[in-house]
Amino acid sequence: MKKFTKNLMLVAAAATALSAGAEATWEFKSQSKEFLGIQSGRGVIADFTNNGHLDIYYSGSGNMAYYDHKGLWNWQASSNMLINKGDGTFDVDIIGAEPTGEFDENDLDGDGNPKEWWRYVDPKHGIIPTSFGHYATFDYNNDGLVDLLVMGVNTNDNAGYINKVPDSMKAYFSEDYSEWKWDWDENGNWSWLEKRQNFSGTAVLVLYKNLGDGRFELVENCNLPVFWSDGNQGRHMGFKTIAWGDYDHDGYVDIAFSGVLKNNDPGTPGRVAQLWRNLGGTGEFKQMNIATTKGGTWTNEVKGDDDTILINSEKLDGWFLLLSGNVNMVDINNDGWLDLIFDGWTDKINDDTYEAGSNGRVYLNQDDGNGGREFIDVTDPTGNFYLTRSGGTELVDLDGDGYLDILNGGYGDHGLGWKTLFFHNNIADDPENITPEEAFTYGDSMDQFGLANEENFAFTVKDFDGDGILDIQYNSKHDGAIHYGQIDGTYSRSDAFHVRGWSISDGFDIYGDLNGNGLVDRFQTGYGWIDEEYRGDLNNGGDWAMSRWIWHNTTDVEIIAPDVPANVKTSIDETAKTITIEWDDVESPNCAYNVVVLTPSGKVIANIPVDPVTGALKVAENKNIAIRPFVNKYTLPYNEVGEYKMGVQALSLNNEKASAIAWGQNLVAGVGNITTDLTDNDVKVTVNGNAIVANATANADVKVIDMMGRTIATGVTNTPINVEANGVLIVNVAGKSVKVVK
């Protein structure tokens, strides 16, 4: 059994002045009290406004006095954009409220005056409110702006913003909860009887295009499926229901889902374990049934009241096993291609090894031999890879060997119960001989390392205190503890957070560097319990509140950015129509890499959205899609004629720092054999005013091409060609091309 220990050399290299056992310090942001508090909702952090600072978007509902006016409803769901100004303050863009100037003479206030009617005011951002939200922050069309994918439930929307969503992107539902009864003392009487209220709303999945001026536009041709998380009627906000990354290296970010479909037809799949390919940034996606699953995948049969079979079970060729819970898109074997891991609940398994219930599947992204990709099920064939359900899964290099391990927590069937499990990635032990099926073979219970087995948790894994060792934050029922990693591989629990959520279905904590010090700050939503000494500051003395709290991480430690990648080289293959960048691994610990490409038309291609000038990341999550260590090479196709700029930066996976972008030599694509020199063997190009002369030893035709690939002038060698255009031009002489600047 692999012992769970830290790599001491990496820890020593990353260690700071903090002593062992130190904890992070947190400062409450007082402006938080001005924001709208919510329950049943969560947020996401990204640079939505393109101002160089990470903003916060959050949505949910709750009893808010802000909307308590005649004509409005105090339970109106809110949709809130907090715009980070970079000076510690935020501008607020929300669904507003204003008086109309009209009065109801038949409805008087306590002073006998007619009450004034109020109306809702649309927010500038234009994003509809949702509860129990899940989000993806990515640049779907490579325009350099962070777009937003929203999956959630539209409830308490008295203002009617749901009417702005096309029917194809929503599914109405109404579902009753069951009665819950227990006879604990077995006396024939119910010791506990609970009947929960009817829950109804409209499930939505909407893609928003960032317009770059604070507004978002609904992408009406988006064809992604409407689903929700599999937990408590879609109310589980701890699941990672959406994963994203460029699985096929075509330069566009793709999407994977895990959850439950709404209003699916009988006999069709009711669970979502799907991969959708981005079709060139158009807003449309294609479901990619390119998986090979052990035992195959089938739908469930449909039976009538008399147990007769109405619809037979149907085999689903190419589908992923129908698991609903978490999905992670990561590179598990460090080959430069993103793999998929699904976990959660499954109804039906046909591999004669694993059983229905809580489960997991590992899919390796491989070349299909025909120029495409396929996902091969490499789950441990011995039956030692059971994962949990109702909880969280994170892929993180916990032991510092450069390969991603699995941290999984929740309720496990098959005799597991409530567990936190650690699956060591075995590939690093013997990369030449370990097969993909041997990558994850068993799970160590994490309680032996000081981590608790508790209910309903998700994880955030960061170096909260800046000591170079990863820490683990539990986001669970009645719990918000951080377990600080120690150099001996154990963890020390802290209860330093002063607001604890009621449950993961009510609210959810998110993390990102809001104040620019390289450490993650905390934003809380949900109905929360406030520690006694903070009740006056947070809630006017009350012990419970609807949260919207920002906590800055003010730990007294200097966070150093990773080293800049060295020996950066770029190359072009005109036959394959690809461009390639290579680099050396940096010395900084626990780093991955972000490749950035600027195209001739101004598009920005990047594994993770980034400012190409400053190197600042534009998102706070999903860094695991970055290129793993030991890969050091990335190839993309080109589909434009002109000059490409390629660079790479190192990202710390411990903290929130990234290196500057190291740019390679620019590449000119699509016009033949290109050189960036003024001379190419027997061809010499000179520029004198508007006259361009291609001097050569032989007579040949000459074409002058702009960076959009258009021929703007023609002539012959050794004769001036009049060209009025300025800028970067390509002079093509008998198949040889020279780049000039005029």
- What is the DSSP secondary-structure string of 477-537? TTB--EEEE-TTS-EEEE---SEEES-TTTB--EEE-SSSSSS-EEEEEEEEEE-GGGHHH
What integer pLDDT is reported at residue 180 of this predicted model? 52
Asked whether 181 and 188 are in contact (CB, 8 A), the reply is no
The pLDDT of 202-207, averaged and rounded, is 95
- What is the DSSP secondary-structure string of 113-172? PEEEEEEEE--SS-PPP-EEEEEEEE-TT-SSS-EEEEEEEE-S-TT-GGGGS-GGGEEE
- Indicate the helix (H) or strand (E) that contains 539: helix 535-539
Is the pTM of the predicted complex or chain greater than 0.75?
A: yes
Q: Give the least confident one: 28-32, 126-130, 480-484.
A: 480-484
Q: Give the least confident one: 21-35, 163-177, 274-288, 356-370.
A: 163-177
Asked whether 279 and 366 are in contact (CB, 8 A), the reply is no
The pLDDT of 117-127, averaged and rounded, is 97
What integer pLDDT is reported at residue 191 of this predicted model? 54
Instruction: Give phi and psi for 214, each to the nearest 5.
Output: 95, -5
What integer pLDDT is reported at residue 188 of this predicted model? 63
Q: What is the pLDDT of residues 239-256, one digit of tens each?
A: 999 999 999 999 999 999
Residue 145: pLDDT over 50: yes
Residue 1: pLDDT over 60: no
What integer pLDDT is reported at residue 192 of this predicted model? 54
Quick one: tokens of 699?
A: 């007579």
What integer pLDDT is reported at residue 671 of this predicted model? 62
CA angle, 442 then 367 then 333, to 5°? 30
The pLDDT of 298-313, averaged and rounded, is 88
What integer pLDDT is reported at residue 542 of this predicted model? 82
What band does 190 get if pLDDT is binned at 50, 70 and 90? low
Residue 443: pLDDT over 80: yes
Residue 359: pLDDT over 60: yes
Q: Of 6-10, 134-138, 181-185, where does the model show the most confidence?
A: 134-138
What integer pLDDT is reported at residue 512 of this predicted model? 97
Residue 673: pLDDT over 70: no
Residue 585: pLDDT over 80: yes
Residue 197: pLDDT over 60: no
What integer pLDDT is reported at residue 11 of this predicted model? 41
What band does 544 get if pLDDT is binned at 50, 70 and 90? confident
Higher pLDDT, 319 or 712: 319
Higher pLDDT, 696 or 618: 618
What integer pLDDT is reported at residue 609 of this predicted model? 98
Higher pLDDT, 155 or 47: 47
Asked whether 621 and 608 are in contact (CB, 8 A), the reply is no
The pLDDT of 261-275, averaged and rounded, is 89
Find the farthest-apart pair of alpha carbons in the chain and give their distance in angstroms, rounded. 107
Residue 12: pLDDT over 90: no
> What number of CA atoms fall less than 13 Å from residue 322's CA on the CB side?
21
What band does 15 get if pLDDT is binned at 50, 70 and 90? very low
Q: What is the pLDDT of residues 74-116, one digit of tens each?
A: 999 999 999 999 999 999 999 999 999 999 999 988 899 999 9
Asked whether 40 and 60 are in contact (CB, 8 A), the reply is yes
What integer pLDDT is reported at residue 697 of this predicted model? 80
Residue 679: pLDDT over 50: no
With pLDDT > 90 as the criterion, what percentage of the chain qualifies? 64
What average pLDDT does the structure give for the chain?
Answer: 89
What integer pLDDT is reported at residue 7 of this predicted model? 42
- Percent helix, strand, coil in the chain (nearest 5)? 5, 45, 50
Give the residues across from 686 on adjacent strands. 693
